Amino acid sequence: MAEQTQGRQIQGGPVQTEELQAQLRPAATPRESYVFHWSHLPIYFFLMIGAIFALTPFLYMLTTSLMTLGETINKQWLPHQPRLGNYAQAWVQGNFDRYFVNSILISALTILGLVTTSALAAYAFARMTFPGRDALFVVLLATLMIPETVTFIPNFLMVRGGILPLPGGSWLDSLAALTVPFMANAFSIFLLRQFFARIPSELWDAAQLDGAGHLRFLVTIVVPLSRAALLTVTLLTFVASWNSFLWPLLVTFTPTWRPLTVGLWTFISEAGPETQLLMAGSVIAVVPVLIIYLLTQRQFTEGVATSGLKG
Amino acid sequence: MTAPPQRQVQQSPVQPRRRARRQEAWLAYLFLLPALLLIGVFGLFPILYSLYMSVYNWRVRQGDFVGLANYHQLLGSWGGPATFVLGLVLILTAHWLWTGAFAELSARRWWRLPAALALLGAGVAIALSWGVITTHGDAAFLQSVIVTMYYAVLSVPLQIVLALVLAALLYGKIKGQGFFRAVYFLPYVIPVVATAAVFRIIFSPRESSLANTVLGWLHFAPQQWLFDPRPLSQVLFGFQWPGVWAGPSMALATIVLFGVWTYVGYNVVIFLAGLTGIPRDLYEAAEIDGAGSIAQFFSITVPLLSPVIFYVALVGLIGTLQAFNHLYVMRVPSAQGTVDTASINIFDTFYQANNYGLAAAESFVLFFLILVLTLFQFRFFGRKVFYG
């Protein structure tokens, strides 16, 4: 890959990027060969009960979404004949095509902005010296304590316009209101800083000899080496953005930029007793997150584990 | 950005280094600018602005300056809140005296007497102040504060204990750790609006709902779940306790179940990561000494994991005190406000009643409570944590 060859050119030393990445990854537990023993049976039993509890609501959502209205009322476990038509009906009735595109756009923009601002700030905190660095970092961490309940009212007024000069006047019911406020947070900066700080300083010395500045070093060496951490930040931001509810509920009045969660909520509030359509709508909202989770499940849980422990 | 210009290097060797350092500092500030600007504008500035709003009569548009009137409306006049804060200070004093503020004197047991007295005073002050606050304050808001406490006190221990047990079981020498971990974590990543909608149907008061069917298998009577404003103590045991003592409603307990379902997996993942930090030899040594798995759990796993447990409890407390989304989505009119936590109440004051100034004041009271509870948690449990 292109970045890696460049990495090797600049170092000019024996350190390989693959090796470095392996070093920077959290240590995996060593695999032992498994031998079944009867005493494990109760453990599996309890773990299975937990798994059944975790999965039942999803299965219930899926089966109900395929039923007829009569079947949902008559306490059926499985639909007599799966009705895929429910999805089409919910999709059209709930205006989901629009909300879907909106949610994708909102998440993508938020991730793009957040990763950029966080990587820059994290790099400054991890690898540059400047007056007030530690104090700034403490202030930054303190912002983690601020509850959304305190900030959403002033933020609403601010986005409505007239308090701070926002570019473009009022942001209500616009893409900006749904993305810009979430394009930076202390948690992501902290997580990336921890990772960036572990990159050996020999690499920076080598890059300097090559005439690279901080920005080039960040883009060509640090970012490719930190793919694991950046992926974690991306995934956590995606989930937070895709699932956000309170704020979009406040700042969207029309379907123009309304995201899927608020769309689903209006659909639920208006659908009445048609349970099968509610569930079909819910399945539609769940599927994208589910697919991404299933694909990246390992990075996801490992990312949460490392970031959670150090946060 | 790059090396300093050649000309100056020839002139003097000290100057360019300082210049390079200054250049680096400027560049660092430039790197920080976008993130700090956003966090400052949408994270820090709102706190000051909220404080500013809370001293105005502010209904959609800014009105007159009213001083502390909004706070008085919420908490009654000075007496109640002041006594409450005095109670908090007394608790801290008692703790300070008890843990031997005067190390050389603490050998003498009589130092415990003033500590006990201070604690007693704290109890009296807080009980008295609560009486004063509730008679003069805003009933709906104070009720929502109580509901918030119920919600946090029920949720946090349940989430931690369940997650700890599951993580300890998963960490044993078994197959499929990855599978179970992925399954338990799944509810955490799914949009709350969707999962809460399913829970509303599973826990619907109809006799044919899934929850009531399961109760039927176990020969229990069907329940009203989210629609039941009666206290849990009354539903389960028929107790008729008065007021606050009756405890959380059945509807709130159902929402607690939802919270547990959502967050246990997250805690399991964090506990599992913490468990990998405990050396396996400890367990092997304990096994040789004849300790059973339950003894191992309590004498190795729990103490060595205590920093992680503390962290999870802290995050859980802060999270439950400001929980909003699932409570908002799962509340129904029949629950008669027994599931409306402070954050829900703030939202209603803002969104339905359009009283922005009062809502800002409410959010500050909640913020203060979160800060105090976090501080207390640090003070009382933070020291008991074993950091190895």
Pick B184's closest partner by Cβ from A50, A121, A164.
Answer: A50
Contact B272 A243 (CB under 8 A): no
In chain A, the number of structural domains is 2
Is the separation of the CB atoms in B203 and B226 below 8 Å? yes
% chain B with pLDDT above 70: 91
The tens digit of pLDDT for each residue in B100-129 reads 655 555 555 666 777 778 888 888 888 888
Token pair for B265: 């997996």
Is A1 part of any domain?
A: no
Mean pLDDT of B131-160: 91
pLDDT band at B260 (very low <50, low <70, confident <90, very high): very high
**Residue environment code for A92-117, b if the CB has 16+ CB neighbours within 10 A, otherwise e:** eebebeebbebbeebbebbbebbbeb
Q: A99 and A79 in one domain?
A: no
Q: Taking 60 as the threshold, does the pLDDT of residue A82 lie above it? A: yes
- Lookup: tokens for B322: 């400001």
B27 to chain A: which residues are within 8 Å by CB?
128, 213-214
Cα A155 to Cα B134: distance, rounded to the nearest angstrom = 31
Higher pLDDT, B289 or B99: B289
Whether A145 and A244 map to the same domain: the answer is: yes
Mutation for A interface: B2, B38, B51, B160, most A CBs within 10 A: B38
Q: How confident is the model at residue B252 (pLDDT cuts 50, 70, 90)?
A: very high
pLDDT classification of B381: cutoffs 50, 70, 90: confident
Instruction: In whole angstroms, give the CA distance from residue B185 to residue B263.
Output: 8
CB B141 within 8 A of CB B150: no
Cβ <8 Å between A124 and B28: yes
For residues B196-209, give the mean pLDDT.
Answer: 89
**Gap from A120 CA to chain B (nearest CA, Å):** 5
Nearest to B38 among A117, A133, A154 (CB): A117
Same domain, residue pair A176 and A271: yes
CB B43 within 8 A of CB A151: yes
Residues of B in contact with A120 (CB under 8 A): 31-32, 34-35
Confidence of residue B365 (pLDDT cuts 50, 70, 90): very high
Joined together, the tokens standing for residue B106 give 């603490």
| CATH assignment, B138-384 | 1.10.3720.10
CA distance, residue A69 to nearest chain B CA (Å)? 14
Contact B31 A163 (CB under 8 A): no
Write down which residue in A83, A115, A148 finishes a domain: A83
Predicted confidence at residue A7, as pLDDT, reads 38
CATH code (residue A230): 1.10.3720.10
Q: Tokens for A266, please give them.
A: 């209006």
Min mean pLDDT across A102-106, A282-286, B36-40, B125-129 is at B125-129
Instruction: Give one word for B41, left, alpha or beta, with left for phi > 0 and alpha for psi -120 to 50.
Output: alpha
- Whether A117 and B181 lie within 8 Å, measured CB to CB: no
B56-59 and B61-65 as β-strands: parallel, antiparallel, unpaired? antiparallel
Phi first, then psi: give them for residue B252, nearest 5 degrees: -65, -40
Kindly state the average pLDDT of the residues A205-228: 92
Q: Tens of pLDDT along A32-75?
A: 577 777 878 888 999 999 999 999 999 999 999 998 888 877 77
- Tell me the domain boundaries of chain B: 13-41, 77-136, 138-384
Mean pLDDT over the full length of chain B: 86
Kindly state whether residues A163 and A288 are assigned to the same domain. yes
What is the pLDDT at residue A22?
60
Q: Residue A64 sits in which domain range?
A: 37-83
- pLDDT at position A252, please? 93
Cross-chain CB nearest to A264 (options B43, B193, B311): B193
- My answer on whether A108 and A41 are in the same domain is no
**Do A301 and B194 make contact, defined as CB atoms within 8 angstroms?**
no
| A211-215, B7-11, B378-382: the lowest-pLDDT one | B7-11
The pLDDT of residue A16 is above 60: no
Please list every residue in chain A whose beta carbon sits closer than 8 Å to the beta carbon of residue B352: none
Candidates A301, A302, A304, A307: best to mutate against B (most CBs of B within 10 A) is A301
Tokens 């000019």 belong to A12
Alpha-carbon radius of gyration of chain B = 27
Higher pLDDT, A145 or B108: A145
- Buried b / exposed e over B146-161, threshold 16 CB at 10 Å, is bbbbbbbebbbebbbe
Q: Does residue A11 form part of some domain?
A: no
The whole-angstrom separation of Cα A127 and Cα A133 is 11
Q: Distance between CA B331 and CA B328 in Å, rounded?
A: 6
Give the ipTM: 0.85
Neighbours of A203 (CB within 10 A): 20
Residue A27 carries which DSSP code?
P
Least confident among A102-116, B99-113, B197-211, B364-378: B99-113
Single out the residue in A27, A61, A83 at which a domain terminates: A83
A57: chain B residues, CB-CB within 8 Å: 187, 195, 198-199, 202, 261
Same domain, yes or no, for A122 and A234?
A: yes
A78 and A113 inside one domain: no
Yes or no, beta carbons of A304 and B328 under 8 Å apart? no
Q: Is the pLDDT of residue B74 over 70?
A: yes
Contacts of A131 (CB under 8 A, 6+ apart): B25
pLDDT for residue B60:
84
| Domain boundary residue, one of A48, A83, A118 | A83
Do A66 and A193 share a domain, yes or no?
A: no
A5 has pLDDT over 60? no
What is the spatial distance between Cα B249 and Cα B255, in angstroms, rounded to a whole number? 10
pLDDT higher than 70, residue A297: yes
**What DSSP character marks residue B249?**
B
pLDDT, residue B94, reads 81
Tell me if A34 sits within 8 A of B175, measured CB to CB: yes
Q: What is the DSSP string of A82-112?
A: --THHHHHHHHHTTHHHHHHHHHHHHHHHHH
Task: Please name the residue of chain A whose CA is at the shortest distance from the CA of residue B274.
Answer: A309
Residues from chain B contacting residue A184 (CB–CB below 8 Å): 34-39
Confidence of residue B380 (pLDDT cuts 50, 70, 90): confident
Tell me, yes or no, whether A107 and A138 share the same domain: yes
Least confident of A93-102, A134-143, B74-83, B223-232: B74-83
Q: Which of A50, A55, A309 has the CB atom closest to B270's CB atom?
A: A309
- A181 lies in the same domain as A51: no
| Same domain flag for A49 and A185 | no
Phi, psi of B4 (to 5 degrees): -65, 155
How buried is B369 (Cβ within 10 angstroms: 0-12 exposed, 13-18 middle, 19+ buried)? middle
Answer whether A211 sits within 8 Å of B3, measured CB to CB: yes
Query: Does the pLDDT value for residue B208 go beyond 70?
Result: yes
Q: Tell me the HSE value of B199 on the side-chain side, using a 13 A CA sphere.
A: 29
Nearest to A150 among B39, B46, B328 (CB): B46
**Shared domain check, A186 and A69:** no
Beta strands in chain B (DSSP E): 56-59, 61-65
pLDDT(B364) > 70: yes
Residue of chain B whose alpha carbon sits nearest to that of A29: B276
Nearest to A184 among B39, B193, B202 (CB): B39
pLDDT digits (tens, 9 = 90+) for A244-254: 999 999 999 89
Higher-pLDDT residue of B195 and B137 is: B195
